[in-house]
Each structure stands twice: as C-alpha cells, then as structure tokens.
Amino acid sequence: MTDTNTHRWTLPIVPDTLRVLTNGYQSWSEAELRPLTDTPRQALFQWMTDQGQDPAFPPSDQAGVWRSHTLIALLRPDGSGWVGCLRDATRTFAHWEVRAGTSSVDVTCVLEGADADVAFEETADVQTTLEQLSGELGRAMGARTPAPLRVWCSWYSYYRDITLDTMLKNARLAHEHGLPFDVFQLDDGFQADLGDWFEPSSWFGGHAKDLPAQLRELGFRAGLWLAPFLVGPESKLRAAHPEWLLQAEDGTPLLFGNNWGGPYHALDTTHPEALAWLRDLAATCRTWGYDYLKVDFLYAGSHPGKRHDPAVSRAEAYRMGLQALRDGFGEDGFLLGCGAPLASSIGLVDAMRTGPDVTPFWDDEARRVLLGDGAVPSARSALHTALTRWYQHTWYQPDPDVMIARRERSLLNDHERGALLGLLDVMGGLRASSDPMELLDEVGLELLRRSLDLSTPDRPRTLTESYGGAVTHFTRGTF
C-alpha cells in the first residue's frame, strides 16, 4: 500500500520555444534537454525499459509530454523558466510530468510514498535555481562528497572474462609505469552466480579474497563489484531462501530484466533476514580486505512488486537495503552506486554512476535511435547523460565512467578519445580506466595520465549552450 499525493500547476505560456530538462530514474536512464514539443524515445523491448526506466513510470509516447524523476525544468531560450524539485527523497519518489497544450503547459508532480515538500519556482536563471534546489536536496539528505578516487576497473576490457592473474598483471604494470591509481577494482565475473558471491566462478582462477593483500603490496586499495540486490534463478541463494525474494502479485518470485542470458530475481529488502544477509555480505567483503565497493543494479531494490512489509514505499525499501550495505561495510568504506535510483541514494553512497556505460565506440545509433533505447551503452550516451546531470555534484561524487585511452581493441578515433578526455575532465568526480596496460602505447599512456589528473569540475556555461555541443559533434541521428 503506497500513498500518493499530487501537485499541479498550469503555466500560461505557449510551449513552442520551451525546452525541457529531464533527469531519468537511475544511473543508466537518459537525462536530456530537449524541445518540449518533441516526442520522447520509446524503447522497443520491455527489457530495455526494465533496465533503464522505472517500469511504474516509463517515458511517455506522446509528443509534448515528458516525464522525469525527482526534478524537472522548463527553459525559455533566454535561460529563464521554471524548476521543480523534490525536497526529500528518503521516503518518496517524485514523478514529474509536463504536458504541452496549445497556449499553456500543465505540470504535475505525483509523490509515490510519504507526503513530502516539493518546490516549484519560476526563475530568471534556470541553471542557477536548479543548482540551488538540487543542492538543498543534497544537504537535506546528508550528502557524502568525499575526495574523488582514481580507479582501474576490469569491466570495459575483460568483461566477465576476468581472472585473478589478469587483475594482478595489470596492477603490476600500472605500478611499474607509476600510474597514480588509488583503487584496483574487480568487476563482474569473479563470482559463481548472482547471490553466490562467496564462491568463485569456474574461470576466475582463485578467490576474490586472495586479491586485496597482493594489491596493497603494489600500493593500491582493493575494490569489488557486487549486484547485491540481484539473485540468479539458478543460484544457491535462490534455492535456500525463496522467501527473501520480491514477489509478483500472485506471490511467486518476480523475474525481470535481461542480462547474463536471462531475467533474475530481486531481494526483498524489507525482509529482516534478507537485510541481515546484506549486512553480512558487505562486512565479509570488508574482512576480505576490500574498502571500495561498486554496488550495481541497485534499482532492483526499488523494483515494483509485493514485499514482506507492504506498508514500506519503494524509496524506503531501497534505502533499507542500501543502509544495510552501508552498516555492514562501515562508515569509512567507499560505496559507489551504479544502476541506482539517483536522489534516493543521497547520504548513503560516496559516489554514483551518473550515466550509462562507456564503450570503445562512440555511438550505437541503431539501438539508440531506431530501437529507442536512450540507456544504451556508448561513449556518447555516457557523456551526454552525465553532463546533463552535472548539477548532481552536490549529491555524491559523480562517476561519469571510464576513459578509454587505448588505440587497439577500440573503435574510437583520436578526436573521440580527445572528446572523452576533455568532457570527463569537465564533469570531475571519479577518474577511471579499464585499459589493459599492455595495450597502451606512449600516446595511450599519456592520455591515461592526463585523465587521472584530478581537476575541479567546470560549471557548464549555460544549460542551453552547454558542452553538449561537443557530444553531438560526432553524432548522427536525433539528439
């Protein structure tokens, strides 16, 4: 049972010249600034919606109707306009919708969960007001913004084919080159199954607990990837505790998404035993020597479904799960959220992926434009979305995803590698790389060194004339 409250405004303005700024639901959802009278992208397949959007609040399929989580803005060509923003996302999701009429624009904000304050202001300077209101939201929720870290992550070169030896080989080479990484982070592929985190995969060639001490000898901290709220349908965890799973209306364990060759289950984070298990999981990773966790696919914690405690809202259920991980990992552990409902993570994570995955190619036009998947991984999508969320610096350290400095096993040309480097620097936050050290020539090493040089983020000059230009420069098709 969830309460809903609705707020409405009607703006007496002709919509033709307005633009709308949306935020999206979770890390991978597209965030964009688009003409209000355009039609939002429609993903052709349900699994795309499941992995990029809120299934309970998917993008509209009508011209002039735009939806956004937590906040929304409408801009006139001179940068003035309106900003709407939720004041507290701990217990509540805010579903914003703007609807263009002929001579007016209707704005609706539906609160899913407890009632909460909502700001809606007309302003001469949308960018400044957006930064103010989102900053207030961050402060109200006790945002954590520790110093950014420089991270090597195994995913964007090795994908699930990662081994203990490969991790150590890269760490040794990085050490020899004197590259200033803080953390070496092992990504997906080390574990037997989703949920069976303590057992190694058949190919990993060791155990995740064998890594941290060897990394520390080379001068690096150890980081580990988990999708802590996901449970594989064939996993031992699923067999042992079916009662811990989020359920469909008919009481059977819900299956959703499509990665790792099929759909998966989610833990019910209102179940006390599932929460205790999550605390133990994070605490165990800590005792193995990891002090950096990339906690991924977190949207599973707020997926719609039937929970053990039906009085808990999706935002609250999500935060109960995330709080359990924080409690287990400790206050001084570094938590990077990924695939995560954005504002509802404030105060519990140290850093947050603010866009979809970078890939070693610029754009996946067919999937983005023709199949309508705005959350599709690509260098372009990652930069475009993370830049649109620039104001979220006050919520956590943003993680705009990795630099790709290598020339081999990459389709990025020199201009695109340069754009990636420059725009990651504009965004600030975490600096990351995934390049196999052995593939870096002199130019690649120099690009990587420059990308690890932490700088203060540059405020985009204006929202309407932002660094988005550099993103579109190499892009064909609808923005």
Which H helix or E strand runs over 50? helix 46-52
- Enter the tokens of residue 348: 């519990």
Beta carbon of residue 257, minimum distance to ligand 9PG (angstroms, whole number): 7
Q: Rule CB under 6 A: say whether 475 interacts with ligand 9PG.
A: no
Vertex 296: Cα angle to 290 and 297 (nearest 5) = 155
Which 13-52 residues touch ligand 9PG, going by CB under 6 A? 28, 51-52
Q: Rule CB under 6 A: say whether 188 interacts with ligand 9PG.
A: yes
CA 454 to chain centre: 21
**DSSP 8-state symbol, 339:** S
Residue given tokens 């574990």 in the structure block: 191
Torsion sign, CA atoms 261, 263, 269, 274: negative
Q: Rule CB under 6 A: say whether 105 interacts with ligand 9PG.
A: no
- Enter the tokens of residue 387: 């830049």
Q: Rule CB under 6 A: say whether 155 interacts with ligand 9PG.
A: yes
Catalytic residue, candidates 54, 187, 357, 401: 357
Q: Rule CB under 6 A: say whether 435 interacts with ligand 9PG.
A: no
Report CA Rg, the chain: 22
Which H helix or E strand runs over 472? helix 468-473
Of the pair 131, 357, the CB lying nearest ligand 9PG is at 357
Q: Rule CB under 6 A: say whether 259 interacts with ligand 9PG.
A: yes
Q: Which of 54, 88, 112, 296 is in the footprint of ligand 9PG by CB under 6 A?
A: 296
Contacts of 411 (CB under 8 A, 6+ apart): 360, 361, 362
Of the pair 338, 352, the CB lying nearest ligand 9PG is at 338
Residue 11 one-letter amino acid: L
Beta carbon of residue 434, minimum distance to ligand 9PG (angstroms, whole number): 9
Which 386-425 residues touch ligand 9PG, going by CB under 6 A? none
Beta carbon of residue 164, minimum distance to ligand 9PG (angstroms, whole number): 18
Which 73-92 residues touch ligand 9PG, going by CB under 6 A? none
21, 391 Cβ separation under 8 angstroms: no
Q: Which of 112, 182, 187, 196 is in the footprint of ligand 9PG by CB under 6 A?
A: 187
Beta carbon of residue 317, minimum distance to ligand 9PG (angstroms, whole number): 22
Q: Rule CB under 6 A: say whether 211 interacts with ligand 9PG.
A: no
Of the pair 187, 435, the CB lying nearest ligand 9PG is at 187
**Residues paired with 426 in a beta bridge:** none
Contacts of 219 (CB under 8 A, 6+ apart): 175
Beta carbon of residue 352, minimum distance to ligand 9PG (angstroms, whole number): 12
Beta carbon of residue 48, minimum distance to ligand 9PG (angstroms, whole number): 7
Q: Which of 338, 340, 369, 379 is in the footprint of ligand 9PG by CB under 6 A?
A: 338
Closest CA to 397 of 362, 427, 356, 373: 427
Of the pair 37, 258, the CB lying nearest ligand 9PG is at 258
- Told to judge if 296 belongs to the known catalytic residues of this protein, a careful annotator would answer yes
302, 268 Cβ separation under 8 angstroms: no
Catalytic residue, candidates 88, 187, 188, 296: 296
- Determine the size of the site formed for ligand 9PG (CB under 6 A): 13
Closest CA to 22 of 112, 80, 87, 85: 85
146, 350 Cβ separation under 8 angstroms: yes
Q: How far apart are CA 208 and CA 234, in angstroms?
A: 21
Q: Which of 184, 225, 299, 396 is in the footprint of ligand 9PG by CB under 6 A?
A: 225
Beta carbon of residue 12, minimum distance to ligand 9PG (angstroms, whole number): 40
- Enter the tokens of residue 330: 């400790």
Q: How far apart are CA 232 and CA 445, in angstroms?
A: 39
Q: Rule CB under 6 A: say whether 357 interacts with ligand 9PG.
A: yes
Q: Across the beta sheet with 256-259, what order do the strands follow?
A: 230-231, 262-266, 256-259
Q: Rule CB under 6 A: say whether 382 interacts with ligand 9PG.
A: no
- Told to judge if 357 belongs to the known catalytic residues of this protein, a careful annotator would answer yes
**Secondary structure class of 365 (helix, strand, coil):** helix
Q: How far apart are CA 100 and CA 105, in angstroms?
A: 5
Residues serving a catalytic function are: 296, 357
Using CB under 6 A, list all residues that contact ligand 9PG.
28, 51-52, 155, 187-188, 225, 259, 296, 338-339, 357, 375
